[in-house]
Amino acid sequence: MSRGGPGTVHVLLVAGSLREGSTNGAVLATAAELARPPMTVERYEGLDRLPHFNPDRDAPPLDPAVDELRSAVHRADALLFSTPEYAGALPGSFKNLLDWLIGDDHPRSLYEKPVAWINASAGTGAVDAHASLRTVLGYAHATVVDSACAAVPVPRGAVAGGRVTDAGLRADIAAVLAALASVGASADA
Ligand SMILES: Cc1cc2nc3c(=O)[nH]c(=O)nc-3n(C[C@H](O)[C@H](O)[C@H](O)COP(=O)(O)O)c2cc1C
């Protein structure tokens, strides 16, 4: 059962871009705006505070930024990612975040946790980054919710005030949330 009670699902939103005015950040800000009870959402904002992953530092006492990241994951029933592709791969800072999640042996870690992503690339499709994301999440033994993974190409012009403004794109983002909401229902079954 979700920590928020029967039928609820708490989703952690994680963007892979540090850019101010990020389209991926706007996608997740829009998801946060569109989410309705019984879904609750939380945006992870600590990407630029994480230290470089080092297995020697993956032991108590953890860096506070790592502790904050892992606690946010533990609170969540599901994670929704949105990341750009850089040079045919995941952004280094985002891969670093994922590396910090691999060795977490907490019962509410990424292990078997439902995850999905929105591929917001309006360019070449960012297929290599998303293939890599699937691979890394496989190493984490996360449960990819394929029905909630979607390509929602967001041109920079469709973003204003840190939100996606285009009605069709907003509907696509809402559909992803609806697919993720089923995670809460199945967790209660
Ligand atoms: C250094 C750099 C490398 C990039 N490499 C790729 C790439 O390999 N494939 C791709 O589809 N887009 C690539 N892009 C385009 C970004 O993915 C695109 O700008 C994306 O919208 C950035 O997302 P953001 O607005 O959330 O930061 C690259 C951009 C930069 C700055």
Residue 157: how many other CB atoms lie within 10 Å:
10
Place of tokens 């609820």: 8
How far does residue 85's CA lie from ligand 1's centre (Å)?
A: 5
pLDDT of residue 189: 45
**Tens of pLDDT along the chain (189 residues)?**
566 666 789 999 999 999 999 999 999 999 999 999 999 999 999 999 999 999 999 999 999 999 999 999 999 999 999 999 999 999 999 999 999 999 999 999 999 999 999 999 998 899 999 999 999 999 999 999 999 999 999 999 999 999 999 999 999 999 999 999 988 555 554
How far does residue 37's CA lie from ligand 1's centre (Å)?
A: 33
pLDDT of residue 66: 98
pLDDT of residue 28: 98
Cis peptide leading into residue 38 (ω within 30°):
yes
Q: Which residues line ligand 1 (CB under 6 A)?
A: 17, 19, 22-25, 84-88, 121, 123-124, 126
Residue ranges covered by each domain of the chain: 9-188
How far does residue 142's CA lie from ligand 1's centre (Å)?
A: 25
Question: Do residues 140 and 98 make contact, with C-beta atoms less than 8 angstroms apart?
Answer: yes
- Counting atoms of ligand 1 from 1, which one is nearest the CA of 21? 25
The residue whose C-alpha atom lies closest to atom 4 belonging to ligand 1 is 86
Q: Alpha-carbon distance 2 to 78, whole Å?
A: 10
**Considering only the top CATH level, what class is 9-188?**
alpha beta
How far does residue 84's CA lie from ligand 1's centre (Å)?
A: 5
Q: Alpha-carbon distance 125 to 119, whole Å?
A: 8
Cα angle at 119 between 48 and 154, to 5 degrees? 95
Closest CA to 180 of 26, 11, 30: 11
Radius of gyration of the chain from Cα atoms? 16
